[in-house]
Amino acid sequence: MSEPLTPQALDRALALDGDYKALFERLLLALSPDRADAVQMLMAARNGTWAMMLQTPPGRALYLGSALSGTVTALATLGWRIVCGGTDADHLALAARRDAALNPGRVRHLLLDGRELPFGDSTFDLVIQEGGDLSFQQECRRVARGERVLIADNRLAYKRSTGVRGRFDKPGPLRWLSAALRPKRGERSLLGYRRLCGPHARAFALYPHSREYSHVVALDSPLPALTVGRMERRNRIKVIAKRLGLFPLLTPSFALFSGGRGKTRIERILAALGERIGEAPGAIEHLVATRSNGALVLTAAAEAPGGWSVHIPLSPLKRGQARRHALSLRDLPARFPDLPLPAYLFEGELEGVYLTAERRLGGVSAPQLTGDRDATRRMFTDMARILAGLRLGPPVTLTEEEFETLIGERIDRVRRLCARAETEQWITRRLERLRGELVGRRFPRVLYHADLRSKHLQVTTQGRVLGILDWGTREERFLPYVDLLHLFVHERKQESGTLPREAWRSIVRGEFTEAERLALEDYAQRLGLEPDLCRALEAAHPLLVAGMAELNWDYSRPRWLHHQYGV
């Protein structure tokens, strides 16, 4: 999808007064689901995760590409002062509204006309070209006094993003050969880009594709590397191609850095962190672009007691969640000694960047064991016991006032922004039914992780839980069972490769696996939960998930509840 924004939707959005969040939500509602998805991908700050590999300290930067790219948000959040140049006046106007809201005073927007850049020689410490016309490269070299970065697609790519989240185009042999011989937008191979950028350019893969990448992978050195877990190892073609050294040849997208000197930004940050905590920084094993608009840096252990997990928000809106996560790691062990957590290391600013750091856990991420029934049973057994240990006291009666505080107030926003009359009606019916099922009942309250999925669990290869990660959505007091139910639904989704709706509906029909049934029975017995209370929460699962999401998203996703759960 080359251009997801329609002029009509953009014109209507720009005519709106008020804050940027409301403007953006209205814009997404005016687009088709696929176009709205493509706009969100384009504007995600996670697109700028590669900036951690810059060698030049923050200063003045020129950005050339889509003015709407989330790369601009990330660079501004990381301390750069940016001139954002583009050829579309409406895109620049929308970008100006965004940047004034998220990073006021850090981004200037400039409408470009022609092949020459209106700047003197050596004006900028950093010049970025993200896609687009490669003929600007000579001008980029002229105006740069420091580092240059080119983000570009590979003419030999074995797949490309379609512009819709999770969808990739994988051409057959003939179409791949045609694209390689006659690239539509002047794409080059890695060797071709090296000729353009200079022989000493540092090359990285943005994998799986620059529009939706999860890993920044070094192509000139072993690290940072691509994570290759159990699920990836099942793809024999991918494994064989990697062993043959074909990854740099066929990977879909590149980031090439020219003209820098010295240590990278993340190396300087890790050195400063090491000084603070009294440890030597280990090698950067993985640099991950997270879905929540952060950069996650995983280091190896330089010495005992182990490596680090470093979280760097790439948007100002992500900082609050990062802080909540860090404070959870710091404070919860004293309250819940049996809760397995990574050890807290640091929270604050280093080298001008806000970050949090924790001890990296061993084992594997739980999704790597998806499909292993024995491992899943052990994981569910452990989680039932762990989550039951998060009770906050004896059972108490749920009042009408507490129902509104815990559930009703957050659902009002879900209902206002769900974008479908049928969904709005379902929300109203389900909310009132849940009110009747819960108000006046006695049951314990619990500490609420609020986004508990298997990817937030670190486990042994046998499925034993080593730690629960990512506490940025934590709530101090909520309903029982909701975390365990969310884990059930997403583990089923992970195994089947479908949307959550099918997993949720099968649970509502009572189709529990033996592992789920045993875990639920143990959890319910430990907390004294009656079966009909569990059934009520199962039926309301989409409502509870949507309420959590609206508390934590930086903007409301259009039609999300209908798309994910079919309501």
Does any domain span residue 485?
Answer: yes
Does any domain span residue 2?
Answer: no
Strand order in the sheet with 457-459: 364-365, 457-459, 465-468
Give the 3-state secondary structure of residue 465: strand
Last residue of a domain, one of 329, 359, 389: 359
Same structural domain, 82 and 153: yes
Q: Residue 85 sits in a domain of what CATH number? A: 3.40.50.150
Last residue of a domain, one of 226, 258, 290: 258
Same structural domain, 412 and 469: yes
Q: Residue 540 sits in a domain of what CATH number? A: 3.90.1200.10
Interval 421-455: pLDDT, tens: 999 999 999 999 999 999 999 999 999 999 999 99
Same structural domain, 73 and 187: yes
pLDDT of residue 229: 62
pLDDT reading at 5 higher than 90: no
Last residue of a domain, one of 326, 359, 392: 359
Q: Can you tell me the mean pLDDT for 374-387?
A: 97
Same structural domain, 235 and 292: no
- Between the alpha carbon of residue 374 and those of residues 197, 367, 368, 371, 388, the distances in Å are 51, 14, 13, 9, 22
The token duo for 121 is 């020689």
Same structural domain, 346 and 473: no
Q: Can you tell me the mean pLDDT for 8-29?
A: 86
Counting the structural domains of the chain, the total is 3
Any idea which of 25-29, 358-362, 488-492 has the lowest mean pLDDT?
25-29
| Parent domain of 472 | 364-565
Q: Residue 343 sits in a domain of what CATH number? A: 3.30.200.20
Same structural domain, 455 and 339: no
Same structural domain, 188 and 160: yes
Closest CA to 462 of 392, 531, 541, 381: 381
Does any domain span residue 1?
Answer: no
What CA–CA distance (Å, rounded) separates 479 from 275?
42
Closest CA to 560 of 408, 406, 427: 427
Same structural domain, 168 and 251: yes
What CA–CA distance (Å, rounded) separates 356 from 335?
21
Q: Can you tell me the mean pLDDT for 22-42?
A: 90
Interval 490-507: pLDDT, tens: 999 988 878 899 999 999
Same structural domain, 236 and 275: no
